[in-house]
Structure 1
Amino acid sequence: MRATILNCTLKKSPEPSNTQDLADLVAANLQDLGAGVRTIRLVDHNIPPGVASDLGEGDDWPEIRQEILGSQILIVASPTWVGHPSSLAQRALERMDAMLSETSDDGTPVAYNHVAGVVVTGNEDGAHHVISEINGGLIDIGFTVPGQSWVYWNMGPGPGPSYSDTEHGHKYVHQVASLMARNLYAVAAALRERPIPVDISREAG
């Protein structure tokens, strides 16, 4: 079992990332279940805007796309900015839009039989909105989103410390991160054994 985490922080490596710290918690739980995990910090790569899988020379997205489709589990990790996903989370969804029309050799849409979840941080409110926006896009693209396949942390309304600066809410977050990892792993394993059937002999109409 393989998992890919797209860290959509706006902070370039090696700057510390609260989003990375929370995503690492989920990654550790997945690794305990036997999954291999790779994290990609999107801001460290050149990902031009567009809705194609390959925009030519200098585009790093094709390699990232290959990592996503080579994994059974995708996690999109995003900070909350003015109540919305980061611009890089939106960019990732826009680039994955091309998967809507892409199929494997047997006609199965390429995102089918892959599961997805969301990690959200921010010292402001709005996490549930960010989760809904990202999950909605992932479902449209073809990913399966299990129940309770997200974890978030925020400080609540108003300014305050970030996730890595306080122990506030960490007990809850640890419980939910563990549940998220188990649910993602279980549904990914089930889909590996019994993939979603696709009847390519029928025309949409």
Structure 2
Amino acid sequence: MSIKALVLNCSLKDSTQQSNTRALINEIVKIFDENRAETEVLRMADYNIGLGITHEAVNDKDQWPEIFEKVKQADILLLGSPIWLGEQSSLATLVVERLYGGSSLTNDKGQYIYYNKVGGVVVTGNEDGGKNVSSYLIYALSHIGFTIPPNVDTYWVGEAGPGPSFIEANGKENDFTMQHAKITAYNLLHFARLLKEYPIPAEGNVIESP
């Protein structure tokens, strides 16, 4: 069964710079690859994404529509974000807003367009905020129609105060984080396959035209 996974890394660093969030994302992508999922990772800082609650271009430089097309084709959407002041990055918030802008569209059954897609999150940073950022992103995805499997929030946080981040701190040696990376990857794959074989029935959730 063919599964497509799309990862939107909302690091504030573009792809010319090293991203701690990408390093943790890679642990999940390895498992996707081992299970023959077709995975694409996009660095949001590489794109010009306009402000607005819409899936359409807000100006002639807005590249969100091409990202949105990839979202529509994906079975799995994984959002990655660093932590700043205990919150998700500004880019992560922007991506959620643009996803929300497409949430009123429907699939060929008349259900919200994100039905039968699964979502998860990856979060990295210093100090606290892993669960706070995860809860925001998980709720946002669920609210707009993504299915959220159990335990699909993988996070790593360092000690209080300035200090080494995931890569420098050898975050891959953290058993809890690595266990959750594995659980996240497999549960996303399990539920993506399940929904492809047994999609959510249209009964009771078809959106009526105004």
Q: TM-score if structure 1 supplies the norm length?
A: 0.94
Aligned to 1:6: 8
Q: Which runs of 5+ in 1 are unaligned?
A: none
Which is worse superposed, 75-84 or 194-203?
194-203
* Alignment equivalent of 1:118, drawn from 102, 118, 121: 121
Q: Which runs of 5+ in 2 are unaligned?
A: none
Q: 1:99 touches 1:109 (CA, 8 Å); kept in 2?
A: no
Q: Which residue of 1 aligns with 2:202?
A: 198
2-structure distance, mates of 1:185, 1:178: 11
Correspondences of 1:1-205 after superposition (within 5 Å): 1-55=3-57, 56-168=59-171, 169-199=173-203
Aligned residue-pair number: 204
SS, match of residue 103 in structure 2: helix
The superposition leaves residues 111-149 of structure 1 with CA deviations (integer Å, 9 ceiling, x where unpaired) of 000000000000121100000001111111100111011
CA distance in 1, matches of 2:159, 2:140: 25
Given that residues 52 and 101 in structure 2 are in contact (C-alpha distance below 8 angstroms), is that contact kept between their aligned partners in structure 1? no
% identical equivalent positions: 38
Cα distance in 1, alignment partners of residues 31 and 75 from structure 2: 16
Residues 157 and 166 in structure 2, CA contact (< 8 A), matched pair in contact too:
yes
Residues 70 and 129 (structure 1 numbering): CA distance in 2 closer, same or farther, change over 3 Å? same
**Which is worse superposed, 106-115 or 80-89?**
106-115
The CA deviation at 1:201 is 6.7
Residue 203 of structure 1 and its aligned partner are, at CA, apart by 5.1
In 2: Cα distance, 1:97 partner to 1:35 partner: 26
| TM-score in terms of structure 2 length | 0.92
Once residues 107 and 9 of structure 2 are traced to their aligned partners in structure 1, the CA distance between those partners, rounded to angstroms, is 26
- Measured on the aligned residues, the alpha-carbon RMSD in Å equals 1.6
- One-letter amino acid matched to 2:56: D
Deviation (angstroms), 1:170: 2.8
